[in-house]
Amino acid sequence: MTAARVSRSGKPAVVAHRGASGQAPEHTLAAYELALSQGADGLECDIRLTADGELVCIHDRTIDRTSDGTGPVSEMSLAQLREHDFGSWHGGKPASVLTLDELLTLTLDWRRPVRLFIETKHPVRFGSLVEVKLLEMLRRFGVATPPSADHSRAVVISFSSSGVWRIRRHAPMLPTILLGDTARVLGGSAATAVGATGIGPSVQTLRLHPELVDKAAAAGRVTYCWTVDEQRDVAMCAEIGVRWIATNHPADVRDWLVTV
């Protein structure tokens, strides 16, 4: 398979949503390694803080859906989370909880440039501490101050406008995407207020409001669309100029983009 660049001119770049989560358990090392082997241009993860201040890749507030355990992430230490299996529920092999540290290492050490899209979850028990801890880690990995948004290996995304604003305030060169599922949120004023460098509509919103892409481009912002798993939606995103497509099926989307 030919290695893909982070930026593929003329067509949307493919972001593996929680890894290749259509084929492997989400947020596991296996899901991300599969996505990378399939040629994904970017990886997406959700992060939460454990009770002892560690950043882990888990979407839900609790571990009930994606592990053999129960309980809120914020009330468990990393050691306690590691006692549970996060892989078998999806039919995969047993897997440990994935830390952001481990995922960043995988991303930055991969044999070709890949971009990591990191979603901070809100509202959460620890409030703004999640962005504080995230920036500390990105600085430790040397990716918090890229020369420009285009050359950044990390992108911070969030449905929380205050979360996006905290990143922009403390790491102004890091690209940020304000997520939303309505045109009202993403139409311009909210993204402008927090200084987001991109908008992130759902594919359902984009079907109804394709003009959002042109409006964002006119304001100097890229568009990141989630979660695009159908061929007709991939074709729509390519036609209207979406920059990043987040999908559970990166291999399929890459194949479909060949034909558009």
The chain-wide mean pLDDT, for the chain, equals: 94
- pLDDT exceeds 80 at position 1: no
Mean pLDDT of 122-147: 96
For residue range 47-80, what is the model confidence (pLDDT) as tens digits?
Answer: 999 999 999 999 999 999 999 999 999 999 999 9
User: H helices within the chain, ranges in order?
Assistant: 29-37, 78-81, 100-109, 129-140, 161-170, 183-186, 189-194, 203-208, 211-218, 231-240, 250-258
Q: How many CB atoms lie within 10 A of CB 187?
A: 17
Handedness of CA 133, 135, 136, 140 (dihedral sign): positive
Biggest distance spanned by C-alpha atoms of the chain:
49
Confidence of residue 7 (pLDDT cuts 50, 70, 90): very low
Domains and CATH numbers, the chain: 13-258 (3.20.20.190)
Catalytic residues: 17, 59
| Beta-bridge mates of residue 199 | 178, 223
